[in-house]
Amino acid sequence: MVMRTLTDIKEEIDEVSDRRLRVMRKLAEGYDASLAAEHQKLEELVAQLWEEQRNARAMLRFGDRDVIIQRARQEERLSRAA
């Protein structure tokens, strides 16, 4: 999996958030089913981007998740054997 930089993720969050704001303003003028559907998709995309950013921050701070889990399991096995 290729990890994007925090800057790239933040830029995309800003772009999608701006688009979401424009859609919300149009929806405030009057309901449109296609705009409502687009708004929902944008909300989901923003949530995914925030999750990606949290994961990227955790990776930078703590390292690769799989390596951490592998190390914890190995330590657990050693403690059970002792």
At 57-80, the pLDDT tens digits run 988 888 888 888 888 898 898 888
Report the phi/psi class of residue 80: left, alpha or beta, with left for phi > 0 and alpha for psi in -120 to 50: alpha
User: What global pTM score does this model have?
Assistant: 0.75
Q: Are 3 and 52 in contact (CB under 8 A)?
A: no
- Taking 80 as the threshold, does the pLDDT of residue 82 lie above it? no
DSSP track, the chain: -PPPPHHHHHHHHHHHHHHHHHHHHHHHHS--HHHHHHHHHHHHHHHHHHHHHHHHHHHHHH--HHHHHHHHHHHHHHHHH-
